Amino acid sequence: MRESTQSHPDTLGVHAGREDFAELGVHAPPLDLSTTYPVRDLDVGTASFDALVGGEAKAANPIYARLHNPTVARFEDALATLEGTSDAVAFGSGMAAMSACLLAAGQRGKHVLGVRPLYGTSDHLMNSGLLGIKTHWVEPGEIAAAINDDTALVVIETPANPTLDLIDIAAVVKAARGVPVLVDSTFATPVLQQPAALGATLVLHSATKFIGGHGDVIAGVVACNAEWASALRQVRAATGGLLHPLGAYLLHRGLQTLGLRVRQAQANAQYVAERLVKHPAVAKVCYPGLGTVANAHLVGTQMRGPGSLLAFEMHGGHAAAAAVMSAVRLATPAVSLGSVDTLIQHPAGLTHRVVDAETQRRHGITPGLLRLSVGIEHADDIWADLEQALDAARQAEAA
C-alpha cells in the first residue's frame, strides 16, 4: 500500500498503483507477459529465489512468473490501497484465494469456524475436509463459545450469498478474541465496505465480479497484513494458483470505474427492489435497501450503501423461478455477478447446489429463490424485462 491514502476512494481507484507513471513516462500500466527472467548474476538470482519462495513481495530478480510478476504486483498494490491494508495477494480465481487462506490457516490450527450462508463452493470446500481442516458451523452469536486452542480462522461473508443478510464484522472480530477473521466482501467491494478497518484480518474478493466488472476475467484477491501476505505468497508459489498478468491488467483497469459502476448498479437495484415487492408473483424480496434482511441497520454504518445484489422468492416455487429465467430477454440467465449487465440465477439449482438440501432450507435457499445481480443498464429497461418475465411466469402457473 502506498503512503498517501487520504484521498476519496474514487480517486484512489483511478490513481492507485500508478504512482510511478511520470517517472516511467507512460500513461497506461505496463503489461509484462514474461514467464521467466534472465539471471545474469547467480548470487543475486539465488537470493531473489529464496526471498520470493519465502513469501517476500519482491526481490532484485523476479526469477519466474509463478514467483512474481510486476503487472500482478501493481494490481495488488492498488487493491491494498483501496482496502486500507499493507498488502494484497492475487490468485487465479476466487476459490484459489479461498483455498490459499484455508491452507495458510491450516499451519496455525485445524479448526475453522464458518458462518452460513456462504458462496456454495466455499461452503463445499470448507465442509469437505479436502484441505485438512475441520469446519464447525455456527451462528454469529455462537462464535465466542465455539473457539478452542486449535481454532485458526473464522470465516464469514457479508452481505451473504445469496440471501443478502448482513453480519456485524466488528462484533465477530470481538467474539473471535484474537482468532483471525476472514470476510468475503465480494458483494460489497471496497466502495461500500472496508472490513480491515473493523478488525478483519483477511478481506477476500472474487475479483471476477465487481472488481473486473465486465465478465472477461477470473481472479481472486486477498487484502491483509504483511504476515498473512507472506504466508499466502508461499502457498501461491507452491501450488501455482497465480493470476495471469493480462487478468491483473484488466482488474487494475477495472478499479478506475469501480465506484461509478457500483453506485449506478446500486441505484438501479433499489429501484428494481421497490417494484419487485409490489408484483403479485413475488412472495418476498431480500435486499438491504428495503430493510428485509438480517442486520439491515448496518447499511449506513458498516456499509456505505445496500449494494446491487438482491434475491426474491417466487410464488410457485421452482417452476415459477425456472419460468422467469427462461422468459428474461435483457437480463442474462447465468451465474456470477457484479458485471455491467444484469444477471439472474437460481441458487438452489446452480451456485449452491453443492450445499446439502437441509442446509439450503435452513438458510433460506429455497426452490423458488432467484438471485439478481443488477447491472448499469437503464433502470426502466431492467424493470420492464423483469416485469414481463414475472408476468409470463404467473400466466404459466395459472394455465
119 is catalytic: yes
Catalytic pick among 18, 116, 209, 236: 209
Q: Are strands 343-345 and 134-137 parallel, antiparallel or unpaired?
A: unpaired
Q: How far apart, in Å, are the Cα atoms of 61 and each of 56, 70, 87, 156, 245? A: 12, 11, 20, 38, 17
For residues 104 and 125, give the distance between their C-alpha atoms in angstroms, rounded to a whole number. 15
Catalytic pick among 184, 371, 385, 394: 184
116 is catalytic: no
Q: Among residues 101, 93, 88, 176, which one has the least CA distance to residue 131?
A: 101
Catalytic pick among 37, 74, 77, 119: 119
Q: Which three cell numbers stand for residue 85?
A: 491494508
356 is catalytic: no
Q: How far apart, in Å, are the Cα atoms of 335 and each of 307, 349, 382? A: 18, 11, 18
Q: Who contacts 23 (Cβ-Cβ below 8 Å, separation ≥6)?
A: none
Cβ atoms 88, 2 nearer than 8 A: no
Cβ atoms 18, 30 nearer than 8 A: no
- CA torsion 32-38-44-46 (nearest 10°) is 100
Rg of the chain over all Cα atoms, to the nearest angstrom: 21
For residues 310 and 374, give the distance between their C-alpha atoms in angstroms, rounded to a whole number. 8
For residues 84 and 28, give the distance between their C-alpha atoms in angstroms, rounded to a whole number. 24
Q: Who contacts 246 (Cβ-Cβ below 8 Å, separation ≥6)?
A: 31, 33, 217
Sequence letter at residue 183? V
184 is catalytic: yes
Q: Which three cell numbers stand for residue 325?
A: 429465467
Catalytic pick among 66, 174, 275, 304: 66
Which residues are part of the catalytic machinery? 66, 119, 184, 209
